[in-house]
Chains A and B, each alone.
Chain A
Amino acid sequence: MSNETTFSRRALFMKLGILFNGLVATAMAVPVVRFLLSSITRGRANAYLAWVPLGSVSAFPEGETRLATFRNPNVMPTDGKTVNTACWVRRVVGDQFQVFAVNCAHLGCPVRWFPQSALFMCPCHGGAYYRDGSRASGPPERGLFEYPYKVENGLVIIQAGELPTTGAPTASLFGKKPPCAG
C-alpha cells in the first residue's frame, strides 16, 4: 500500500462498491417513501371526500338540532367502530340545513348541543358556539366546521370523509364563518 497511489485497483472497487450500494439504496428508498406517504398522496384533490346520506329530511324537525351518524366513505376491514361518525344537523327551515362536525374547532373534542340555552358546549377546554355554529366564547378562533350538504329525493346528503381540523383545506371548503342563518 503506497500513499502516493491515489488510483489503486482496490480503491476503485471500494468506490464502485459504495456507488453501486448507493444506487440500489436510492432505488429501494423510492417505494419505501411512496409507501410511507401513501396516505397523503392518495388524499390529494379531495379523493377522500364523498357524498353520504344522513337520513330523510323528515327525521329532522324544523328549528331543531339533532345528532346524526354516518359511516365514513373510506373503510378498512380493521377500522371497527371508528368509521362511524357523528354530526349535528340543524334544520333551519324547509330544505335549508346546517350540518356541523361534532369536532370542536379548537382541538377537536366532541361538542354537545344544549337546546335549552341554544349553545354547543365543548367539555375539553370550554369552547361554546351559538345555534348557527358561530363562536360564542372560549378558546376556539372560529365557528364549528360545517359539512357541505344537499337535499336529494327527500334525503339529507353531506360531503364527508376527512377529520375536520383547523388547517385542513376542507376547513375552508366548510366555510370560514358559518352564515348567520335564522
Chain B
Amino acid sequence: MRRLITRVGEWFDRRLQLAAPIREAAEHPVPRNTASWWYVFGSAALTVFVLQLVTGILLAMIYVPSASEAWSSLQSLNHDVTLGWFIRALHGWGSNFMVAIVLIHMAQVFLFGAYKFPRELTWIIGVFLLLMTLGMAFTGQVLRFDQDAYWGLGIGASIASRVPIIGPLAVKLMLGGPIIAGATLSRFFALHVFVIPGMLIGLVCLHLWMVLKLGINEWPMPGRVVKKATYENEYHALTKKDGAPFVPYAVWKDMFFAAFILLAVAACAVYFGPFGPTGRPDPTIIQTAPKPDYFFLWLYAILSLLPPSMETPALLIGPVVAIMVLLLLPFLSGEGEKSWRRRPIAVLTILLIAISLGTLTHLSGYTPWSPHMNAWSGDPVPDQFLRGTTALQRQGALVFQVKQCRNCHSLGEAGGQRGPALDSVAVRLTRDQLIRQVIQGGGNMPAYGKNLSPSETTALVAFLETLRPPNQAPARNAALGVTQQTHTPAQP
C-alpha cells in the first residue's frame, strides 16, 4: 500500500515538478527564536481568509445580488436552508476576526521592526492588504442589504460627495446611478466577490513569497541595529548558526493557533449566530438608527465628535495622511533599532492608537451624542424631582416632557446624553440664565423661543429652578448682589 502511494506520488511529481520547491519552501531555515507565539498572526490571518473564501462561495450559492431579492435571500439562508445561518455566522464572525487579526499582525510587525530593510515592500503590500480587508468588510456589510446597509451607503455617498470637484461624480460612480438602488448593490457585489478578493489573493501570494525569499524577521535584540550594507549577511549567518527548518520546527505553533482561531470563529458563530439582516432596505421606513459594523464604529464616533468645521478636512485629508504615513514608514526608518525596548515612540504610538480606537468604539456602544428619540415618551420624570413641587412647577415638568427636552437631557440617569444632565442645573444657572438658554439656545442647543409660549417658558423655568440637590445653594447672580448692595443705604 505504502509503495503504491509512493509510486503514484512519483508519477504525479514527475509531471508537476512541485515536490522540490515545496520541500525547499517548507524546510527553509528560520532563526530559532522566531518559532514564537508572537509570530503566528500572519498565518492565522491567512487561515481566516481561506475560511472567508470558502464560506463566501457557499453563501454565493444562495444569495441573490438584487436589491429586490437580497434581503429575502438572506432570510431564507437564516431560516430555510440547512445550516445556512451557520455559514452566514461563520462568514460574519470570520470578517470580524480577520480585521482584528490583521490589525494585531500589523502591530506586532511594527513593534518588532519587521518593516525595516529589506522587508519594506512586504510591509507596503501589507498596508494594501489591510486596506483591502477593510474594503471587504465595508462591501460585505453592504451585501447584507438591510437598513444599516442602505443608510451606510448613504453615509459613504455623503462622505464621497465632499471631495472637491469630483465628489458628485464619485457618488454616481459609487452608487451606479443617482440613488442607492439595484445598480448599487450589484456593483458592490462585483467588488466584494470578484475585484477585491482577486487583488487580495494576488497580493497575499506576493506577501508570502517575500516572507519566504527574504526570510522571517529575526527576533529583535536591543542593540542589534539594522544596516543596509551588512544586514543580509548577518541574517544569513544567523539562520546558518542558529536556524532550524520552518517545518516542523516553527510551524506547529502556527497550526495550533490557526486551529484555535477557527474554533473561536465557529464558537462565536454558534453562540451569537449570524449578523442580521436588520429591517428591510426600504427608504420610506425612517424609524431607524443606522450603525456601522463593529470595525467601523470608531469612525462613526469620530464623525459625531469632530467640530463641524473640521469634519470635511479631517475626512478627506486624514485617511490620505494615515495611508501615506504607513506607506512611507519603511523609508523613513528603514534602518536602526528593531527592538521595541529601544523604540519608546513606537510603543506609545501603538498604545495611543489602540486606546483611541478602543475608547471611540466603546463610546459608539451607547452614542451619547445622539438624541434618545423615545426618551420624551418613554422615560417619565422621576418621582423624586416632583416631591413638594407647586402646581406651576409640575406644569413645567409637563412642558419639559412634552417638548422633548428629555431626548437630549437626562434626569435621574434616564434620557439623552446629547446635552448636560439637568439633575442639578439650578446650581449652575440662575433663573435669568435658564430663560435665556431655553429661548435662545446656544452651546449646541436649539433655540426654543419660537416654540414656547411665555406661560410655558415660565412654568418650564420654574421646574428647572427646583433641580438641585437639597444641600446645595442655587446659582445666584453675583453682579446683581453687588448692585443691590450699592443701592441699599449704608447703616449708620
Q: Interface residues, chain A, CB within 8 Å of chain B?
A: 36-37, 39-40, 43, 48, 67, 69, 72, 74, 76-86, 102-103, 106-112, 114, 116-119, 121-126, 128, 130, 136-141, 161-163, 165-169
Contact = CB atoms under 8 A, between A and B. Distances in A.
A108 B154 contact: yes
A103 B371 contact: no
A107 B67 contact: no
Interface in B64-122: 66-69
B308 A137 contact: no
Given A108-B157, A119-B404, A123-B370, A136 B446 contact: yes
A112 B178 contact: no
B188 interface: no
- Pick the most buried of B68, B172, B288: most chain A CB atoms within 10 A of its CB: B172
Interface in B176-195: 176-184, 186
Contacts of B282: 81-82, 84
Contact of B404 (A48, A76, A108, A117): A117
Interface stretch (B159-167, B233-241, B323-331, B384-392): B159-167
Nearest to A138: B444
A81 B281 contact: yes
Nearest to A169: B168
Please list the 8 inter-chain residue pairs (A to B) with the smallest Cβ-Cβ separation, ordered nearest first.
A80-B68, A167-B161, A136-B446, A165-B161, A167-B167, A108-B154, A78-B182, A123-B289
A69 B300 CA distance: 28
Given A78-B66, A106-B158, A168-B168, A139 B308 contact: yes
Interface residues of B, number: 69
Interface of chain A, main secondary structure: loop
A118 B450 CA distance: 9
A43 B183 CA distance: 14
Nearest to B302: A125
Given A78-B186, A121-B407, 9 more contacts: A37-B173, A43-B178, A81-B282, A106-B158, A107-B158, A109-B290, A117-B446, A125-B369, A163-B179
A103 B286 CA distance: 10
A72 B179 CA distance: 8
A124 B67 CA distance: 24
A116 B376 contact: yes
Given A86-B286, A116-B404, A136-B446, A107 B155 contact: yes
A82 B163 contact: no
Nearest to B289: A123
Contacts of B171: 163, 165, 167-168
Nearest to B307: A139
Nearest to B163: A167
A168 to B, nearest CB: 5
Given A108-B151, A137-B445, A163-B154, A83 B161 contact: no
Contact of A166 (B161, B183, B284, B370): B161
- Pick the most buried of B163, B179, B182, B451: most chain A CB atoms within 10 A of its CB: B179
B287 interface: yes
Interface of B: 66-69, 150-151, 154-155, 157-164, 167-169, 171-173, 175-184, 186, 280-284, 286-290, 300, 303-304, 306, 308-309, 311, 369-371, 373, 376, 402-405, 407, 418, 441, 444-448, 450-451
B178 A119 contact: no
B72 to A, nearest CB: 9
A40 B172 contact: yes
A78 to B, nearest CB: 4
Contacts of B151: 108-110, 124
Contact of A114 (B161, B370, B404, B441): B404
Given A76-B181, A118-B450, A128-B371, A112 B403 contact: no
Nearest to B444: A137
- Pick the most buried of A40, A48, A86, A140: most chain B CB atoms within 10 A of its CB: A40
A70 to B, nearest CB: 9
Contacts of A109: 151, 154-155, 289-290
B286 A112 contact: yes
B285 to A, nearest CB: 8
A124 B290 CA distance: 7
18 contacts: A69-B284, A76-B183, A78-B66, A79-B68, A81-B283, A82-B179, A106-B303, A109-B151, A109-B290, A110-B288, A114-B376, A114-B407, A117-B407, A121-B371, A121-B373, A136-B447, A137-B444, A139-B308
B304 A126 contact: yes
Contacts of B309: 141
A130 B446 contact: yes
A9 to B, nearest CB: 34
Contacts of B158: 103, 106-108, 165-166
